Amino acid sequence: MIYNPILCAGVLGWASAQVIKFILFFMQNAKLNVERLYGSGGMPSSHSSLVCATLISTGRMDGWNSSTFAIMFVVSAVVMYDAANVRLEAGKHAKQLNAIMLKLLSPEEPPMDKKDQFKELLGHTPLQVVCGAVLGVLIGAVMPL
């Protein structure tokens, strides 16, 4: 049987964050949204959880001075920066574009279908990234190697 503890830690980090998003959405809105189990954006960042769980388990397995740990550190930093900056701004742009498109529709036209709108929940606030990172670090630290 093949077992890759680093990959398993990363997947568990991602899955844990997605389940937490689903539960938090339900608690805040009193309705189920299956998209929260696989979609991007929201609290906590599953991207941050995935890369941090992978980072910590890589350090534990290959050593904190290893090349693989250094590469994983750089990848983690890029992913978390992207989530809190680039994708967050893209989501803000999508929200504005959707608002503009709704204003441009004439009264005779049918309302804009949800599938035709831009996805607005893409990125994360810094707090969502930090919470995802903490979750990932914890998973990477306790995952058996």
Number of domains present in the structure of the chain: 1
pLDDT tens digits along 100-142:
887 777 677 777 777 777 777 677 788 989 999 999 999 999 9
pTM: 0.80
Which structural domain, as residue segments, surrounds residue 138? 5-142
Q: Is 8 exposed, middle or buried (0-12, 13-18, 19+ CB in 10 A)?
A: middle
